[in-house]
Amino acid sequence: MKKTVFLTFALILAHSGFSQKVITRSGEIKFEASMPALEEIAAANNTVSCVFDETTGEFATLALMKGFRFKVPLMEEHFNENYVESSTYPKSTFKGKVLNFDASKLAAGKNTFDVEGDLTMHGVTKKIKSKITFMVSGDNLNATGNFSIRPTDYNIEIPNLVKSKIAENVKIAFNFMLMGK
């Protein structure tokens, strides 16, 4: 019995020794869906969780939809109740991998890679591919990037009354200060 417990513990330690995960629970995702010359439609969520494994290149995020803050409270209410339906679909996740990731390049300053994976939002999962830039800052790793999505791809219905006021392509930017290096 003692040997089994010791062996299990040793395997867990060995695995964690090879795995270099960096995390944050205060990452930021911003989105912007404004049309030119109309009211700004933008929000930010500063409570996004992110985990990055520097050995495998695996990258995952989780954003609670009710965490997005708008300048206008009524927009926030409409976003949660009418568009993303936060009570039914409370979170958005991304699970993917940084392609051809080479941790040895991180010491050289800023490096950009492709990241590819599954974005799940509003009950729909779609493959996306984007750029991600890493920069070492002391013991932390900063990950930034941006991409666009179409709400219709995620079955998010925009009422005809406001359709002309909301961009077809929503711009999304992310910024994660990952700790644990």
Q: List pLDDT tens digits, range 146-159.
A: 999 999 999 999 98
What is the pLDDT averaged over residues 13-33?
79
- Kindly report the CATH number that applies to the domain delimited by 21-178: 2.40.128.110
Binned at pLDDT 50, 70 and 90, residue 37 comes out as confident
Q: What is the per-residue pLDDT across 105-115, written as a single tens digit (0 to 9) for each?
A: 887 779 999 99
Domain limits, the chain: 21-178
pLDDT of residue 62: 99
- Using a pLDDT cut of 70, give the percent of the chain over it: 88
Q: If we measure between CA atoms, which residue out of 94, 100, 92, 107 comes closest to residue 45?
A: 92
